[in-house]
Amino acid sequence: MVFLPSFSLSTFLLLSLTFLSTLTTTSAGSPPQLRSSRLIDLLIRDYTFKHNIKKTGKPFAVHLPTNLSGIHVTATRLRCGSLRRYGLKIGEFRLDAGVSSFPCAERIIIVRQNLGNEWSSIYYENFELSGYKFISPVLGLLAYNYGLNNDSTFEVGIQAGDDPILIDFSNLTTAKYDDGGGDEGLIPLCASFRRDGRVTVARQGNSNICVARENGHFGLVVEIPLIPARKKKGEGWWQVAIGVSIVTMMGVFLMAVVMVVFISKMKRKMKEEIERIAYEEEALQVTMAGHIRAPTAPRQ
């Protein structure tokens, strides 16, 4: 007899419907790896509810199978009213008093995820993050309703009150890029991933702390600087020579245009002066009085 792991019905259906699109094989004969962030959340939820949770308000580590190694999960069970009155500190997340959960019948389980560097790459693949690079693993904060018989494990939303939800990445940021380049001078940005496939990148007040108004997945990213390609020694001299030649030719052309305009103006002025003199001589007839040339008015 073959025993199968006990997953919830929703997880089983999702696995069946998305098997081809969410599973990839890394090499021949090697086990497939999950490439769906939503599917990972559902699996973590199911393994969380397998624990025999006896105490309320005490965090516990969730043990995951080897095919999810690299993901670290912590969870705690709370009463909805206690969460609102006292808040919660779980892992890197701090929820101050006034935070609300909806819908909430009586108790909820809050799950904190640290996907590690390897599993965080799924969010880079599934969301539009071109031009950015992770400098921290992706952290998740999710919540589920906790029924008496674990027969109602629907997801619950978390909404911040007057104070936002804080996510502290101080102990998780990487000091160097994977390619060996330094990240000095770059400003860490907070990336917030939504269920509808959208991602928001924003600058925070503290470089290592993200703020949020609701639960979800978060990570620190930096913009990838554009590094111009280095030119070889002597390369590009002919582009400079062509540029100088073009500028010189344009200068000569402009000077020629100026000279043509100047000469045209001079010719026009000379012509007008000649016409004016001819008109005056015609209006005042010139006669000779002895050896003196004097204008005389025309006879009426």
Q: What is the pLDDT along the chain (300 residues), one digit of tens a residue?
A: 433 444 455 554 444 444 434 444 343 333 345 678 899 999 999 999 988 777 788 889 999 999 999 999 999 999 999 999 999 999 999 999 999 998 887 889 999 999 998 899 998 888 888 889 999 999 999 999 987 665 678 899 999 999 999 999 988 887 544 444 455 567 889 999 988 888 999 987 777 899 999 999 999 999 887 766 565 555 567 777 788 888 888 888 888 888 888 888 888 878 777 777 776 666 555 555 555 555 555 555
**Strands annotated E in 126-182:** 132-134, 139-145, 155-159, 165-168
7: Cβ–Cβ under 8 A, 6 or more apart, which residues?
Answer: 15, 43, 46
Helix H or strand E encompassing 20: helix 19-22
The answer to whether 218 and 139 have CB atoms below 8 angstroms apart is: yes
Residue 239 lies in a domain: no
Residue 80 lies in a domain: yes
User: CA separation (Å) from 213 to 38, 101, 167, 209, 218?
Assistant: 21, 12, 11, 14, 12
Specify if 105 maps to a domain. Answer: yes
CA dist 212 and 190 (Å) reads 10
**284 domain residue, yes or no:** no
Q: What is the CATH number of the domain that holds 212?
A: 2.60.220
pLDDT of residue 13: 47
User: Do you find a cis peptide bond into 103, omega within 30 degrees of 0?
Assistant: yes
Does 235 fall in a domain?
no
Q: Is residue 54 part of a domain?
A: yes
Q: For residues 45 and 235, what is the distance between their CA atoms, to the nearest angstrom?
A: 59
> Tell me, what's the pLDDT at 87?
94
In a domain, 178, yes or no: yes
**Residue 81 in 3-state DSSP?**
helix
133 and 59 Cβ atoms separated by less than 8 Å:
no
In a domain, 245, yes or no: no
- Which residues are within 8 A (CB) of 86 and not within 5 positions of it... i.e. 6 or more apart? 97
State how far the Cα of 65 lies from the Cα of 5, in Å rounded to an integer: 11
Domain region containing 47: 9-19+30-223
Number of structural domains, the chain? 1
pTM of the shown model: 0.65
